[in-house]
Amino acid sequence: MRMNKNWCVAVLGLMAFASLGAVSAQAAESKIAVVNIPRLLESAPQAKAMMEQLQSEFAPRQRELAALQKDLREKEETLKRDGAVMSEEERRNIERQLRDGQRDFQRKGQEMNEDANLRRNEELGKLQRILGQEIQNYARGQNFDLVLGDVIYASEGMDITDALLTALQAKFKQAN
């Protein structure tokens, strides 16, 4: 009985070792790649076009804020320069305008920042979907079994970021 137990353990051990060898042989045949996602998001022409579009979309509001800020500076300078010779009512009027203008400037600045962040997040979501699809298409076309994004270390031979950037640039040129 003891011999049968030992024999069963030995047979089970050999079977486990043989299956391990089959798994490692299969893993050795797998084609694995790594993508530097932050670099793609930074360097892809689609990302640069998105940033330019957002900048042009919010440029009028930025110009409006700059003009409002300039007007506030001019009122502050007028108050400092001429405040001593102004009538009490005139000085209070400019101080009130300055206070109201500063509140308006802060409110408009916060609104613009919130709107810009919302739009940036929307566009970033679209860009991430586009890049994800491009990575999948490239991986299928090159017969990769696994493509990883967040990796601590990978050899240069596994990194397909440059090839993906080239494909993204070509696709961007075709679209534009």
Show the 3-state SS of 73-135. Answer: HHHHHHHHHHCCCCCHHHHHHHHHHHHHHHHHHHHHHHHHHHHHHHHHHHHHHHHHHHHHHHH
For 93-124, the pLDDT digits (tens) are: 989 999 999 999 999 999 999 999 999 999 99
Q: What percent of the chain has pLDDT over 70?
A: 84
Q: Check pLDDT > 70 for residue 150.
A: yes
Supply the pLDDT for residue 28. 58
Supply the pLDDT for residue 69. 96
Dig out the tokens for 128 from the structure. Answer: 């991430």
- Domain 31-175 CATH (choose: 3.10.20.30, 3.40.640.10, 3.50.50.60, 3.30.910.20): 3.30.910.20
∠ CA 105-110-111, rounded to 5° = 100
Instruction: Enumerate the domain spans of the chain.
Output: 1-30, 31-175
For 10-62, the pLDDT digits (tens) are: 444 444 444 444 444 455 588 999 999 999 999 999 999 999 999 999 999 99
